[in-house]
Amino acid sequence: MAEGERIGLHNLKPVPGSRRPRKRVGRGEGSGTGKTAGRGHKGWGSRSGAKRRARFEGGQNPIHMRMRKLRGPHMKKSMPFEPFRTHTQPVNVADLEARFESGAAVTLEELGAKGLAGRKGVPVKVLARGELSKPLTVHAHGFSKAAREKIEAAGGTCEVIQQ
């Protein structure tokens, strides 16, 4: 290309050495791919129409046939569980002890601000890991039995939020 010539679709070329000529098989012994044309001797791979299929496992029972069959709504294993699963955000009593002062009201907004239950629209459940030594008024969607006992033993109250 000359110095002042504009680049366009009519004069684009690949970089020298980036494109190799295609392999011409079966064109005589001197070419390196004559006689069997790179297919070896006998066997399935030497036949016409032979292709190395993706997912082919050498003749053993393929994985899609080894896996269990989950067909139809009548089998328990085939139920789509995910739409019916309940998701909650766990908050432990130890986290409340560390982040709230005595007599504080623990609301969903407060929990989010302290980095405990930040996911909006997901119910919060208080669990009993840890100890609590200060009275707190805790507002949450659910409480484990042991967590409720610990909060009330410390002089606090548990208030369930209805969804």
- The string of pLDDT tens digits covering residues 20-66 is 999 999 999 999 999 999 999 999 889 998 888 888 888 899 888 88
Q: Please report, as a single letter, which amino acid is at residue 47.
A: R
pLDDT tens per residue across span 61-84: 988 888 777 666 666 665 556 666
pLDDT at res. 50: 86
Q: Measured between alpha carbons, how far is 80 from 57 in angstroms, rounded to an integer?
A: 30
pLDDT tens per residue across span 118-154: 888 899 999 999 999 999 999 999 999 999 999 999 9
Instruction: Name the CA radius of gyration of the chain, rounded.
Output: 35
pLDDT at res. 1: 61
Q: Measured between alpha carbons, how far is 21 from 40 in angstroms, rounded to an integer?
A: 22
Contacts 24+ apart (CB under 8 A), 136-143: 136/96, 136/100, 136/102, 136/103, 136/104, 136/105, 136/106, 137/103, 137/104, 137/105, 137/106, 138/96, 138/106, 139/105, 139/106, 139/107, 139/108, 140/91, 140/106, 140/108, 141/88, 142/88
pLDDT at res. 29: 94
